[in-house]
A and B are shown apart, each in its own frame.
Chain A
Amino acid sequence: MSGLPPTEPLLQVTDLRCLFPVRRGLLDVLARRRHAIHAVDAVTFDLQAGEVLALVGESGCGKSTTGRLLVRMLKPTSGEIRFRGRDIANLAGSELKAFRREAQIIFQNPFEVFDPRQTIGSSLRQALDIHAIGTPAQRDQRVHEALEGAGLSPPAAFLARYPHELSGGQLQRIATVRAMLLEPRLLVADEPVSMLDVSVRAEILNHLLDLRGRYGTAIVFITHDIAVARYVATRVAVMYLGAFMEIGTVEEVIDRPRHPYTRALLTNTLSIDEELPSGERIEISGDPPSPVNLGAGCRLAGRCPFTMDRCRTETPRLRPVGPDHRVACHLVEETNAIASPAIPAPPQSATPPRPSSRV
């Protein structure tokens, strides 16, 4: 962002965990065994106001669960979610309702989030009705303006229509308008363009970025598509089996990835860019293991081409490897430890070192 002094983050997530219990069989009950899916495990990060953080990963990695925890659609098993300094992990009742005015979410399939029997106008109005914002006339006015602002004009042409009468792209745009009507400080966008055609995606992505510019809303953008993440985000977090593997600025994580999993994702993503030099691709074989009762060790250990003994016994923690760039990998940690005394900081870093003091 700009040269503003660092302020308190909008969101401070610490050691966030979400476990889903697995149904037990008779033998498990008799043996008093409990199983749980570790959907989100020890996730820790900060989010500044107006920032766009992309959560990237393959299906089942916990990125959507993380998104749902952040807006408290789900209650975490443990951990802290500080929103503007206040822990929202255990809010309930009117406090939760007040929080929801400030934190909204949009989903992949807009046809599933609108009531098919309700007109677009009344669906949009409802958001304002629930939070009793302004007079009824003011609410109508606001809905009208929001549609117009999103390029859905004339608004009257949309207000009286039903969801099935619109295209997926139009409806997703309206879902975004509805989420932004309350001018939230945080928007979680869960794969908002994944089911749309590419020619329509760009409009939705640009619309989101424009809204962020207008209201300063911070966005947690969940996607499996790392190229989309590169386009919308200022920072990227890569998830695998419920945990963050790597987090940092887009430039750091996508142009200088350090974690083998991030490198595998990047080098296996199909694109229309020039081909990678052969030999650069990281191959990760097999499928992710079951997320039930994960033990110690790196989650990628069974598939990673660089696995060492230590990886199987000790869970790597996120450690800084550069300015705003942290990686959870023993290999990176050891290479850094070996490399750092002999070799100075890599010169290719585009970010100038932060001046420690000014005279």
Chain B
Amino acid sequence: MTTPNPLLHVQDLSVVYRAGEGAIHAVQDVTLSLERGRSLGLVGESGSGKSTVAAAILRLLPENARITSGSIVFDGTDLAELSDRNLDRLWRWRQLAIVFQRSLSALSPVHRVGHQLDDVLKLREPGLTEAQRQERIVGILRAVRLPDRVLRAYPFELSGGMMQRTMIALALLCTPPFLILDEATTALDVITQAEILREMERLRAEFELTTLVISHDVGVINAIADSVAVMYAGQLMEVAPKERFFSAPAHPYSKALIASVPRLRGQSGRLTGIPGTLPELHNPPPGCRFAPRCPHAMPRCSAAPPPLYQIAPRHTVRCVLYDQHPEQRP
């Protein structure tokens, strides 16, 4: 289960949101490991808890959310244990950064982009001189292939693609080793999205980045991840190397997810959706949360959440169908 010297290791993470009288169990016992220089794709539909995992890693959860259990070990330090002040001063943005989907709302509409980048850098690295900051900003803009005129532009003057590049530049300002892309290309048009993802591949190499890519779109995951983790209703269902995931998905949910994606080439048979709806996370099913929609569900699925079974190297599945798997190792 554990990989050698992971940069990030999330163990048994659970997150609960307070909502009125009750609680929403958004993330339950999620364990993820990410080696240096690798890219992990975290895929799931709405309500799967994938963005909550990202927010928990950066400790950017809203006020009504709480990490109820688990550890988030980054480069040897448990981020879940750090004080807010410590995390903010030493880790967030310097070591771990994130790019969100709605980037336009992240910048002030009344200040020029260059000014805002400079402000942020001043705050994050107070030791730099103005000349050093300028040099860093210009360097990062070139790295994300933005023309210098962006510095003098206001956010609304930028196209969607340029805006997203600006957000990537903002995240990379302090050259962090770890970057989360949370639906970072979702709102973009096809051609721009492909272009930005190709840029990301280049930046990954150039900045020796380790990345966690969060998306609802398996196409995005296929384009940029080395391995895939699938979440459903707050549970981690399967982790596998990318090629294996797309050629031999193991979990019934992963299989159903892939079968519902229309193809661009080859045979196009009738698509099959997944009947039913996401369970209520106020009061989630006690066992496997996919059981109510699963074609293979049996009584024991609803008894307790199944453990993660290892069915191949680096391939784990949370499904009792693999209980007797011959390749299973303890």
Residues of A at the B interface (CB closer than 8 Å) are 58-59, 167, 169-170, 197-203, 205-206, 224-228, 230-231, 254, 264-266, 268-274, 283-284, 287
Q: Can you name 23 A-B residue pairings with CB atoms under 8 Å?
A: A59-B189, A167-B278, A170-B277, A197-B45, A198-B261, A199-B257, A199-B273, A206-B271, A206-B273, A225-B262, A226-B190, A230-B264, A254-B264, A268-B190, A268-B191, A271-B219, A272-B219, A272-B258, A272-B263, A274-B265, A287-B159, A287-B161, A287-B192
Given that A197-B46, A270-B223, A272-B218 are known contacts, is A169 also in contact with B277, CB under 8 Å in the complex?
yes
Residues in A neighbouring B266, C-beta threshold 8 A: 273-274
- CB <8 Å contact, A270 and B271: no
Given that A199-B273, A287-B159 are known contacts, is A270 also in contact with B219, CB under 8 Å in the complex?
yes
Residues in A neighbouring B223, C-beta threshold 8 A: 270
- CB <8 Å contact, A269 and B45: no
Q: Which residue of A lies closest to B293 (CB)?
A: A199
- CB <8 Å contact, B262 and A58: no
A203–B260 Cα distance when bound, in Å, is 9
Leading 6 A-B pairs by shortest Cβ distance? A270-B219, A202-B273, A268-B194, A199-B274, A202-B271, A197-B45
State the Cβ distance, A85 to closest chain B Cβ, in Å: 34
Given that A270-B222, A273-B264 are known contacts, is A203 also in contact with B194, CB under 8 Å in the complex?
no
Residues in A neighbouring B45, C-beta threshold 8 A: 197-199
- CB <8 Å contact, B189 and A203: no
Given that A167-B277, A270-B197, A287-B161 are known contacts, is A201 also in contact with B260, CB under 8 Å in the complex?
yes
- CB <8 Å contact, A227 and B263: yes
State the Cβ distance, B160 to closest chain A Cβ, in Å: 8
B270 at the interface (CB under 8 A from A): yes
Given that A202-B271, A203-B273, A265-B190 are known contacts, is A272 also in contact with B257, CB under 8 Å in the complex?
no
State the Cβ distance, A324 to closest chain B Cβ, in Å: 19
Contact of B246 among A200, A224, A272, A283 (CB under 8 A): A272
Q: Which residue of A lies closest to B48 (CB)?
A: A197
B268 at the interface (CB under 8 A from A): yes
Residues in B neighbouring A273, C-beta threshold 8 A: 263-266
Given that A265-B191, A272-B222, A272-B246 are known contacts, is A228 also in contact with B216, CB under 8 Å in the complex?
no
State the Cβ distance, A91 to closest chain B Cβ, in Å: 34
B42 at the interface (CB under 8 A from A): no
Residues in B neighbouring A283, C-beta threshold 8 A: 195
B275 at the interface (CB under 8 A from A): yes
Residues in A neighbouring B275, C-beta threshold 8 A: 203
A219–B216 Cα distance when bound, in Å, is 27
State the Cβ distance, A51 to closest chain B Cβ, in Å: 18
Contact of A284 among B159, B191, B258, B260 (CB under 8 A): B191
- CB <8 Å contact, A58 and B190: yes
Describe B's contact surface by its main secondary structure.
loop
Residues in B neighbouring A206, C-beta threshold 8 A: 270-271, 273
Residues in B neighbouring A225, C-beta threshold 8 A: 262
A169–B278 Cα distance when bound, in Å, is 11
Given that A228-B262, A230-B264, A266-B264 are known contacts, is A198 also in contact with B257, CB under 8 Å in the complex?
yes
Q: Which of A230, A272, A273, A284 has the most CB of B within 10 A?
A: A272
Q: Which residue of B lies closest to A265 (CB)?
A: B190
- CB <8 Å contact, A199 and B264: no
Contact of A199 among B193, B256, B263, B265 (CB under 8 A): B256
A228–B264 Cα distance when bound, in Å, is 8
- CB <8 Å contact, B219 and A269: yes
Given that A199-B274, A200-B273 are known contacts, is A272 also in contact with B191, CB under 8 Å in the complex?
no
A266–B265 Cα distance when bound, in Å, is 10
Q: Which residue of B lies closest to A232 (CB)?
A: B262
A202–B261 Cα distance when bound, in Å, is 8
State the Cβ distance, A200 to closest chain B Cβ, in Å: 6
Within 8 A of A (CB), among B194-238: 194-195, 197, 216-220, 222-223
State the Cβ distance, A303 to closest chain B Cβ, in Å: 9
Residues in A neighbouring B108, C-beta threshold 8 A: none
- CB <8 Å contact, A270 and B220: yes
Residues in A neighbouring B260, C-beta threshold 8 A: 198-199, 201-202
- What is the 8 Å Cβ interface bit string for chain B, positions 112-148, against chain A (1 contact, 0 not)? 0000000000000000000000000000000000000
Q: Which of A169, A231, A265 has the most CB of B within 10 A?
A: A231
A203–B266 Cα distance when bound, in Å, is 21
B69 at the interface (CB under 8 A from A): no
Q: Which residue of B lies closest to A209 (CB)?
A: B270
Q: Which residue of B lies closest to A207 (CB)?
A: B273
- CB <8 Å contact, B193 and A270: yes
A225–B262 Cα distance when bound, in Å, is 10
Q: Which residue of A lies closest to B275 (CB)?
A: A203
